[in-house]
Structure 1
Amino acid sequence: MEKPRSSVVEQLRPLFRPRTVAVVGASRKPEKIGYQVVRNLMEGGFPRDRIFPINPYADEILGLKAYPSVKDVPEEVDLAVICVPARIVFDVVRDCGEKGVKAIAMITAGFGEVGNVEEERRLVELVRSYGMRLLGPNIVGVCDTVNRMNASFCQALPPPGDIAFITQSGALGIALVGWTIMERIGLSDLVSVGNKADVDDADLLEFFAHDPHTRAIALYIEGVKNGRRFFETARRVSKQKPIVALKAGRSERGAAAAASHTGALAGADRIYDAAFQQSGIIRAYTIDQLFDWCIALASQPPPRKRPVVIVTNGGGAGVMATDACADYGLALEDPPDDLKNVFRQYMPPFGSTRNPIDLTGMARRDEYYGAVLTALQHSWVGAVIVLYCHTAITTPREVADAILDAIRQAKVDKPVTVSFIGGAEADEASDYLRQNRVPCYPTPERAVAAMGALYRRAEYLGLLRD
């Protein structure tokens, strides 16, 4: 008989915020996953005295005392990371259950993904009989930047942040850790779901909906096992926090490839499209979009009015942004006359107040500050997109400071996205803006697309007023 189960949030807390971690299958051989997980836990910053390597043939691993069995650990174990051969998994799970382990992250493969469906069913039955939760099998592990826990074979933790990333592809998850470091994209957690034999996407959405460290949820999915439960959960969670999903397998061959390596039903893409819309999930089509949009959704309020104002110092950048507004359904209209009259104060006679507001290449810090502040404070404006092309007239950092000062001075709840176009200086200023919770992108189109995601969320929440 199964032990009674607490709420999903309580059940999964030991998985993502454990006080102690046992690595079952820890190894002294650097090429083994069991060695890499112990090393990564230590190098990631998880307390050394909270890590317990389990190996019956070793006294110590990487300077830590090793134990023959998880049952021999002298303290309570919140999380067991299992990386032993599949043939002994059942014995290890029984040991974990008898020890009182609360959650299992199972890296071991060889179950449902290779056709051993009955073995996987029995595994879940055994796990649940002890009141534990199982993530996996067939995962790369779990990364929690809140507690500096890298219980995976990803070599480094992602930068800390407020986006939870749930991925059905372990290899993609590993690759994207390096990418998030390079792009300076902060995550609260990275979760590889593997076969989703027990803990699934719906459980994870529920957990991160209540996680104070997470402001947006990014999903990479190829298919779901219980579509009704997943989309019902998503509909509820998306009212609290934004969810962006990159659904792969859109083509017929892509769907077949997804089914072959995950074992989950990929399904007709148009069905997913409709379900995403009904449940409030914002669908991305590229990795850039997935994270660009989460960054904006995690840091900016949803708009309340439709008119968008673009402020730029480059006509070409403004034209590209205008086309992108049409692509993403953003309302780009000429401002009312009173607003145009104020904008004229911040540009030479050959500037434009038609929207985009072209301050021209002569714009300095004060012109940017005045134009952005004017747009934010006017009641007609719903959102502002700021574009800056690096010129010799003013530095990217000066413009970044002008934008931040205008946002602080305006004291309004309106979203702002930014694009800085240029080289190393522009990139540094972009990073400075992101550190101050203003999403900044290297191209106008990406800044517009991120604003489009904010408007899609506002529409779903019913916030827009004409």
Structure 2
Amino acid sequence: MLPITDPAQDVLQYGRIQPLDVFFKPKTVAVIGATEKEGSVGRTLLWNLISSPFGGTVFPVNPKRPSVLGIQAYPSLSAIPAPIDLVIIAIPAKMVSQVMDECIAKGVKGAIIISAGFKEIGPAGVALEQEILAKAKAGRIRIIGPNCLGMMSPIQGLNATFASAIARPGNVGFISQSGALCTSILDWSFRENVGFSAFISIGSMLDVNWGDLIDYLGDDPATHSIVIYMETIGDARSFLSAARAVALTKPIIVIKAGRTEAAAAAAASHTGALAGSDEVLNAAFRRCGVLRVDTIDDLFNMAEVLAKQPRPKGKRLTILTNAGGPGVLSTDALISQGGELAQLSPETQAAFDAILPAHWSHANPIDILGDADPERYAKAIEIALKDPHSDALLVILTPQAMTDPTETARRFVEILQKTRYTKPILASWMGGEGITPGEQLLNDCKIFTLPFPDGAVHVFNYMWRYAYNLNGLYETPHLPDEEAESRLQRTEARQILQQVRAEGRSLLTEYESKQLLEAYGIPTVLTKIAHTAEAAVEQAEKIGYPVVLKLNSTTITHKTDVGGVRLLLQDAESVQNAYHAMEHSVAQKVGPEHFQGVTVQPMLKMSSGDYELIIGSSMDVQFGPVLLFGTGGSLVEVFKDRALGIPPLNTTLARRMMEQTKIYTALQGVRGQKAVDLNALEQLLVRFSQLVMEQPWIKEIDINPLLASPQRLIALDARVVLHPPDAAESQGVKTAICPYPLQYMGSWTMGDGTMIMIRPIRPEDEPLLRKFHEPLSEESVYLRYFHLVALSARVAHDRLSRLCFIDYDREMALVATKKDERTGELEILGIGRLSPLHEKDEAEFSMMVGDRYQNQGIGTEVLHRLVKVGRDRHIKRIKAEILPQNGAMQRVCEKVGFHLHRTSPDVAIAELHL
């Protein structure tokens, strides 16, 4: 057995080693630009630092004064007699580069650059930023800013900003790109009694970016939720990678400026960066489990409710009220935003009949009538909580003559304390000062309250959409079709693109486009090329009438614009006439050189169960390739029924894309029509995603229409545009999410001669990993985890999904698999994992080989391959902790070149320096 620590625990362990601690827990801080000038940034910074008890020492730096605010000042950083952890820079931008030289010489690890005058002023500012960044990287200095307010760690008592006061301690981590908004939020938080674990103005994100801070706050036990004000996303891959890793355990809520074109332009001007498509940004947020909200009020409401309440399992809400009007308004708000009213079960109906007056509403919303006393409320709440058809409960109270808001709240709390509930509960105690004590009782019991019920419904709609997107990230996809996967012709596809590029072209002909699709297992309609009218007739005779003629051109992207499509041609004469008419139309509109003949295709008959879809991909300036799915055909731009997604896709993500469109309802079968084969459509979308990710020269590609029916899926037309022929390979696609690393996939022969496959793990492997754990012996489990772990804990979905749904940018897990010759089923023989430390050039590895397959070299080979991954990623040291009695693991490490030594009697350390 080859054990190390649990990879799921490793991730938590790594988070405790954080280079960004220099910003949040510094021991020594120097203020460059400290001054006594009233109202200056330098004076305010110094005063805030010395006024808050963060436990460190502050050193003012001012070459013209012996002291500042009564504290000894130093003429330069080098003159300070102590080591410096953090430097705060508040001097003109042109002087910052020189200060960075001093920071390197002093061994400083972190700098907050408050100064403005960088990329926001244009090319000169950009050049200055790059000069500073180069020096910081050479000196291994992390930078927050420039052009920022600074940051606070209220729990530590650190106020490294020029704001007027330090934020209250709390459990919300707040990050903002706008310093001015930070001060506004700070003032608001004092009024609303909101506290923060961290309060950060990130500025222009020269170095430390969203991903870095999300990682840090994700590991911080004091932070329960992360809220972000964003103007630009910056490094999209870093953001998505960090957000995907953290979102499952801590909610990340974003308000993003720039929904409209005018606002996007203003944000770009303010931060000196380009803004991407807002629709694409929404797709990216869905893809990584981030909740996007529209208002600052929503931002903090959602942070609070998601920290207090469980996530709903669906969008069905039960509304319980003592007044009909608020219930109706709540229903309108719920349905209009995509939620649903829960249908009361017969058992629930009967239970309400037993305790409510005869004229209660007998439906949801549950109107328990205006004379409801606390006892009636309590009984009704208890019944509503038990209804299995409901995903959440909203309780509304309006002050009426018989109403006792405080006692009702007290009984509400008593019910919750004796009931095990797993669904979110919201409340709206409507009224003035009289409801305040009751509202406070609910808040103290972690029941989120809002003054008006439609606002509470608005919060619930955010909650179920957030849960839906988050669940999609870790829902186990269907196992891929191994046979279909083996038929993919990646090399042939690459050769098609290379030939087009060699000819100096960026546009594929329709025939070439369909060849490309066929290489990835996407069926296309039979297509033949004809360069003369006679040849077109000959091909039509072979195919059989009726036929379709389409323009064959290496330069024209949209054939219909130049009369390049002729349908329903019934005989040779109509084919000849169509050919000549098309040739004439193209010559007149764009020139004869753009006509290179036609393609001839069968005219497929359409029935009422056939649907025209569009599947496509185009490049986004921030996120790289973005996928599109929706209603296709000639009116695609009119209907605009589409969903966007960030590749790569698995079958779950493909289905989620489909579900966002209106056409999806029809695809499931309506008015007696059979459903389209949705599983096959999922697989087609996955293969299309693979094509986009694996062929980086593709700039744009669309299939329109893709004919979908219960019997078939077939691409009728396709268009592919490549990056310019003169583009270098390094300018190829930069995907927002790391693609499946095919380069680490390869076969290997075991000691007994059996051929196996060693490849990166994938989400679809969860069922295989569960079977892998089932036969493990107690000894193997003990050696693997350093203690016995129950099978139920090892194969829990939450755990296995985390081990299978990895971000290949962050870690690598390799599985050794083989197909059972008797059953044809795949099985996992062993698994190894390499997990880099946060922002370190070090990594830890873990290994496990099944009992039946030990001593056949699998562990050694997997570890060899993990070491190669480490070298490719410029890791300098790989290590692992091993139990002394685990001789098998120690021998494997020695074979691969690791050095073994003891740090204690109970643990051996294996280390390899690369």
- TM-score under structure 2 length normalisation: 0.47
Q: Determine helix, strand or coil for the equivalent of 1:418.
A: strand
User: How many Å separate the matches in 2 of 1:79 and 1:427?
Assistant: 45
Whether the aligned pair in 2 keeps the contact of 1:167 and 1:192 (CA below 8 Å) is: yes
Query: Among residues 150, 159, 179, which one is paired with 2:159 in the alignment?
Result: 150
Whether the aligned pair in 2 keeps the contact of 1:9 and 1:206 (CA below 8 Å) is: no
Query: Among residues 17, 37, 46, which one is paired with 1:29 in the alignment?
Result: 37
Whether the aligned pair in 2 keeps the contact of 1:166 and 1:190 (CA below 8 Å) is: yes
User: How many Å separate the matches in 2 of 1:163 and 1:426?
Assistant: 27
User: How many Å separate the matches in 2 of 1:121 and 1:8?
Assistant: 30
Query: Among residues 259, 273, 280, which one is paired with 1:271 in the alignment?
Result: 280
Q: Flag the 1:7–1:437 CA change in 2: closer, same or farther, 3 A.
A: closer
Where in structure 2 are there 5+ consecutive unaligned residues?
1-13, 476-914
1:422-461 paired onto structure 2 within 5 Å: 422-427=431-436, 429-430=438-439, 433-461=442-470
1:117-156 paired onto structure 2 within 5 Å: 117-156=126-165
Q: Is the strand fraction higher in 1 or 2?
A: 2
CA shift, 1:59, in A, is 4.1
Q: Deviations over 1:74-114 (max 9, x none)?
A: 44433222112223212322333333322111111111111
1:12-27 paired onto structure 2 within 5 Å: 12-27=20-35
Q: Flag the 1:170–1:69 CA change in 2: closer, same or farther, 3 A.
A: same
Q: Determine helix, strand or coil for the equivalent of 1:28.
A: coil
User: How many Å separate the matches in 2 of 1:305 and 1:172?
Assistant: 34
CA shift, 1:219, in A, is 1.6
User: How many Å separate the matches in 1 of 2:354 and 2:58?
Assistant: 63
Whether the aligned pair in 2 keeps the contact of 1:225 and 1:265 (CA below 8 Å) is: no
Residues 1:206 and 2:215 are matched in the alignment: yes
Q: Flag the 1:58–1:454 CA change in 2: closer, same or farther, 3 A.
A: same
Give the match for residue 215 of structure 1: 224
Give the match for residue 300 of structure 2: 291
Whether the aligned pair in 1 keeps the contact of 2:315 and 2:461 (CA below 8 Å) is: no
Query: Among residues 62, 69, 73, which one is paired with 2:76 in the alignment?
Result: 69
**Number of corresponding residues:** 458
Residues 1:93 and 2:100 are matched in the alignment: yes
Bigger CA drift: 270-279 or 171-180?
A: 270-279
Q: Identity over aligned residues, as a percent?
A: 36
1:236-251 paired onto structure 2 within 5 Å: 236-251=245-260
Query: Among residues 202, 206, 215, which one is paired with 1:197 in the alignment?
Result: 206
Give the match for residue 604 of structure 2: none
- The aligned amino acid for 2:93 is A
Q: Determine helix, strand or coil for the equivalent of 2:189.
A: helix
Where in structure 1 are there 5+ consecutive unaligned residues?
1-5
- The aligned amino acid for 1:104 is A
Whether the aligned pair in 2 keeps the contact of 1:201 and 1:230 (CA below 8 Å) is: yes
Bigger CA drift: 71-80 or 440-449?
A: 71-80
- The aligned amino acid for 1:38 is L
Q: Flag the 1:105–1:308 CA change in 2: closer, same or farther, 3 A.
A: same
Residues 1:417 and 2:429 are matched in the alignment: no
- The aligned amino acid for 1:400 is A
User: How many Å separate the matches in 2 of 1:449 and 1:299?
Assistant: 17
Q: Determine helix, strand or coil for the equivalent of 1:11.
A: coil
CA shift, 1:177, in A, is 0.9
Q: Flag the 1:388–1:74 CA change in 2: closer, same or farther, 3 A.
A: farther
- TM-score under structure 1 length normalisation: 0.90
Query: Among residues 99, 106, 113, which one is paired with 1:106 in the alignment?
Result: 113
User: How many Å separate the matches in 1 of 2:311 and 2:176?
Assistant: 26
User: How many Å separate the matches in 2 of 1:343 and 1:254?
Assistant: 51
Whether the aligned pair in 1 keeps the contact of 2:110 and 2:141 (CA below 8 Å) is: yes
RMSD (CA atoms): 2.6
Whether the aligned pair in 1 keeps the contact of 2:345 and 2:388 (CA below 8 Å) is: no
User: How many Å separate the matches in 2 of 1:312 and 1:450?
Assistant: 18
Q: Determine helix, strand or coil for the equivalent of 2:20.
A: helix
Bigger CA drift: 65-74 or 107-116?
A: 65-74
- The aligned amino acid for 2:467 is A
Whether the aligned pair in 2 keeps the contact of 1:22 and 1:79 (CA below 8 Å) is: yes
User: How many Å separate the matches in 2 of 1:379 and 1:60?
Assistant: 70
Give the match for residue 740 of structure 2: none
Bigger CA drift: 428-437 or 205-214?
A: 428-437
Higher radius of gyration, 1 or 2: 2
Q: Flag the 1:123–1:392 CA change in 2: closer, same or farther, 3 A.
A: farther
Q: Flag the 1:458–1:58 CA change in 2: closer, same or farther, 3 A.
A: same
Give the match for residue 82 of structure 1: 89
Q: Flag the 1:44–1:397 CA change in 2: closer, same or farther, 3 A.
A: farther
Bigger CA drift: 271-280 or 226-235?
A: 226-235
Q: Flag the 1:401–1:77 CA change in 2: closer, same or farther, 3 A.
A: farther
- The aligned amino acid for 1:295 is E
User: How many Å separate the matches in 2 of 1:443 and 1:380?
Assistant: 25
Q: Determine helix, strand or coil for the equivalent of 1:323.
A: helix
